[in-house]
Structure 1
Amino acid sequence: MSAPHILVVDDEPDIRNLVREILEDEEYQVAVAEDGASARQALRERRPDLVLLDIWMPDIDGISLLKEWAEDDGLVCPVIMMSGHGTVETAVEATRLGAYDFLEKPLSLAKLLLTVERGLEADQLKRENVGLRRHAPPVQEPTGKSPVMQRLREQVKRIAQHDTWVLITGESGSGRETLARYLHSQSVRKDRPFVDLGVTSIARGNAAYELFGSEEGGSVHYGWLEQAAGGTLFLDEVADMDLEVQTQLLGALDTGTFMRVGGSDPVKIDVRIIAATQRNLEEEVKQGRFREDLFYHLNVVPLHVPPLREHPEDVPDLLNFYVDWFVAHDKLPYRRFNVGAQNFLRNHSWHGNVRELKNLVQRLLILGAGDEITQDEVETAMGAAEIHSSEGMEAVMAFELPLRQAREKFEKAYLEYHLRESGGNISRMAKQVGMERTHLYRKLRGLEIELKERR
């Protein structure tokens, strides 16, 4: 795993080299550039975690360069401006363009290191806030005292100490992403990004741009592989990846480098891959829908998340966990499941696994009243949900269709429903379905759902 990568842009060799030596002593990785042209090239070669940018340079001033970066794709990382001849107006303009801070020369080394540290911390906090807005689950230890869950946790802790790639299998709703986040939190990469990429959320024909990034007209768009640099990239539902993109990903894994779309220079990979699927990848390989060599690359260490019906003794712990979760995070009233309700739920088939249990707890806390949740209340809530679910599925699904077409039909009905519920408000809808707005727009376009008509 790499340390944070910092780019120092300054036309004075003495200052440039001094700052580099100081930062390298603090165990940062450092690249240097002497002017705007070399700074642009450095950004093409590798996405930095922070930039120290001088204002006065021979070919272009730092403010103009900052403006250029901000206009392209937004600032990709914190930028700290440096100047020996700065004015209040310059500092204000830099701040308006998104600069994190402004340092005056001669540099105070203590202030330099403190500002760099705070800039990196602020960027990490920003990433975490984005994750919360996308309803990303908290980093939690997989819940349950059953032997099967104890073995799974021990297995994850051992695997986390080795920088191998991992393939997580399990049914829908079983907690594959929770396990991936927990594995990342136990690894040496825990202080670096965890980037989750739902392969099914990428519009067709756009996967290469999303994964590898692009270069066009001198500007660089960093893909998910670079955004996860030094950390972990979680590829959910990897079986849905197009064969062409599978081939490109395999080439990147084989060589340790990849090319951005439209780019001319190879970019090095420093990332751990955790892939997940609910499908049988070996069967997908036999059917020619998944590359065999990529399967063996991803399947270095397999982890299987058992369905909830195989460890029903964990149901009471899961009920308590999600009650506490919704009380703390959604401010719902506290209610407890009585013994009869718990015993009833232990014998439920849980076709939707942990996700079904979580949704049931939320429904009962929102709609119910009183301190205690009884078996009768649970049966009523589950019966109503099953009737609604079966009617809805019959309405939108044609079971004679091939799986891919059936999935698209369901996705379209699902998104149209949430679009109606949100009144056409994409920000609200994105929160409801747990997707980034950019991905949601692409998905809606890919399914030919017209926003203007719905609004």
Structure 2
Amino acid sequence: MLPSKQLDVVRPHQAGRTRVLLVDADPASLRVATSAVATAGGEVVAAIPPHHASLGAAREATVAIVDLPGREALAIVERFVEAGVTVVATSGAGSVALAVEAMRRGAVDFVLKPYTPDSLAQRIAPRLEPDAPEEAPPTAHIGDFCGFVGSSLAMRALYAEIERVAPSRAAVFVTGESGSGKELCAEAIHSLSGRGAKPLVALNCGAIPRELMESEVFGHVRGAFTGATEDRVGAVEAAAGGTLFLDEIGEMELGLQAKLLRVLQTGEFRRVGDPRARQADMRIVCATHRDPLAEVAAGRFRQDLFYRLHVLPLRLPPLRARGEDVTTLATAFLRRFAEEEGRPMRRISAGAAIRLAAYSWPGNVRELQNVIRRAVVLGEGPELTEAMLPPEIVGSSPSAAPALDEGGAIEPFWIAERRIIERAVAAFDGNTAKAAAALEISPSTIYRKRERWAELGV
């Protein structure tokens, strides 16, 4: 429990636990940070607002979690670092410049608010281990779940959904942006199902010429068309007993959709040019980056097929909604590609990590892979730095967008709302109650919205 008043006092130390000083004016943030420290195995010895951040309290702590409502608080980071304290900086201001400056003044990490107890605990845990090196890179949990990497709330929810749907025989409809991992999701479903020992056959419906698509799906017999010089097994037959993954199913033309629907209804199919019906025994997992309901409404996707396939829907989160997973994935890719390319690069600099976390990743995980591989191949030295990142990432800012002049581009309401709230909190040195009064809203509204933003990883 936190003391009822935030005082510049030190609590008795419990042997074996790393002593942590909290510097923050917001009671809600202090409660979250206290929980995170306990989860990570540390002990909060004092909780004080920034204007009480004396070196006396700092000398009794090994680690300090310091909130930066603005640039004026950077002096606290500098003083604590000079006193030998490991500093983890936090802020809700959403400024890359502030984060970079905190790192330059000696902070070993920068965590953007709002955060959850679990996400903060994950970030500070390496700092609370005895003799932990200050620049140790975040642990990359390669293969957290069936090849997926990441432990954000969004991904843990996805893992749980995959585990629930995998044992079923029903069709699974996976949606998500390009590069978000839809094929990996299909592989996870297959491996956890009762069909894991049988084939998983993947077919990209958008990469095969329309005139060859039916043959690819159902196969053909010799002489069925010009160039058919021998019998050929199609994807449906090749997946017997296993799983058929139809990626980008929205690209399948309507005539072939009707034939696929018949397979689902009757369990039978015919090779092109063969009058004999064959039995189909496979589970279908399909995926698209499009909105399937919009495709149905536009007449590009059969409604009856949609309802046959859309039995167990799964939605993959975009990378920008996965919070700390960006750093975890980047580190995992760095190690993999450095080993593959025989390069000495082993870690990501603090400044580069901040830039990666701030970028919106329209290409999702696939784009992140390409960025890291390019840096590994073209960069020099043991560390991936900001200079090795492409201009669009170096110039990016956190998801809270900058203010727009009148007549500028339209932005989502939640971005403007978050910017207004975070500026008010910063104006009152992190005091949520005063910020809420100035905004004429309830403090609970600010707490609730910050928690929601943290859950979404934005």
**When the two structures are superposed, what TM-score results if normalisation uses the length of structure 2?**
0.52
1:342 aligns with 2:348: no
Given candidates 192, 201, 221, the residue that maps to 1:186 is 192
Q: 1:223 aligns with which of 234, 239, 243?
A: 234
Counterpart position of 1:144: 150
Alignment of 1:342-361 (within 5 A): 342-361=353-372
Given that residues 212 and 258 in structure 1 are in contact (C-alpha distance below 8 angstroms), is that contact kept between their aligned partners in structure 2?
Answer: yes
| Residues 330 and 300 of structure 1, relative CA distance in 2, 3 Å threshold | farther
Mark the structure with the bigger radius of gyration: 2
Q: Deviations over 1:67-101 (max 9, x none)?
A: xxxxxxxxxxxxxxxxxxxxxxxxxxxxxxxxxxx
The percent identity for this pair of structures is 42
* 1:418-437 equivalence runs, <5 A: none
Counterpart CA distance in 1 for 2:343 and 2:243 is 33
Q: Distance in 1 between matches of 2:284 and 2:390?
A: 41
Q: Which residue of 2 aligns with 1:38?
A: none
Distance 1:375 1:170, change over 3 A: same
Aligned with residue 248 of structure 1, among 248, 259, 263: 259
Which residue pairs with 2:163 in the alignment? 157
Instruction: Give the match for residue 44 of structure 2.
Output: none
Q: Note if contact 1:235-1:274 (Cα within 8 Å) is conserved in structure 2.
A: yes
1:165-211 deviation line (CA, Å, top 9, x unaligned):
11110011111111111221211211111111010111122211110
Asked if structure 1 preserves the Cα contact closer than 8 Å seen for 2:145 and 2:159, the reply is no
Distance change (3 Å), C-alpha of 1:349 and 1:226? same
Report deviation, 1:329.
4.1
Whole-Å Cα distance in 2 between the matches of residues 329 and 238 of structure 1? 33
Equivalent AA in structure 1 for residue 204 of structure 2 = G
Q: Does the 8 Å CA contact 1:360/1:382 hold for their aligned counterparts? A: no
Quick check: which one's helix share is greater?
Answer: 1
Report the CA distance between 1:376 and its aligned residue: 3.2
User: Could you say what secondary structure the match of 2:195 adopts?
Assistant: coil
Paired amino acid for 2:359: H
Give the structure 1 partner of residue 284 of structure 2.
273
What is the identity, as a one-letter code, of the residue corresponding to 1:366?
A: V
Which residue of the partner structure matches residue 169 of structure 1? 175
Is the Cα–Cα contact under 8 Å of residues 139 and 181 in structure 1 kept in the other structure? no
Shift of 1:160: 0.9
Residue correspondence of structure 1 range 89-108 to structure 2 within 5 A: none
Are 2:144 and 2:151, in contact at CA under 8 Å, matched by a contact in 1?
Answer: no
Alignment of 1:81-120 (within 5 A): none
Partners of 2:145 and 2:235 lie apart in 1 by 20
Taking the aligned partners of 1:259 and 1:377, their CA distance within structure 2 comes to 54
Q: For 2:258 and 2:315, how far apart are their aligned partners in 1?
A: 25
Residue of structure 1 equivalent to 2:411: none
| Aligned counterpart in structure 2 of residue 307 of structure 1, from 300, 314, 318 | 318
Partner in structure 2 of residue 374 of structure 1: 385
In structure 2, the partner of 1:401 is none
Query: CA shift at 1:378, angstroms?
Result: 2.3
2:208 to 202, 212, 217: 202
1: distance between equivalents of 2:193 and 2:273? 34
Structure 1-normalised TM-score?
0.52
Contact 2:355 2:393 in 1 (8 A): no
1:284 and 1:252 map into 2 onto residues whose CA distance is 21
Q: What is the alpha-carbon root mean square deviation over aligned residues?
A: 2.4
Residues 169 and 278, structure 1, Cα contact 8 Å, conserved in 2: yes
SS across alignment from 2:336: helix
Determine the structure 2 residue equivalent to 1:319.
330
Give the aligned length.
249
Name the residue aligned to 1:260.
Answer: 271
Cα distance in 1, alignment partners of residues 353 and 217 from structure 2: 44
Higher relative contact order (CA 8 A, sep 6+): 2
Structure 1: state its 5+ residue gaps: 1-136, 385-455
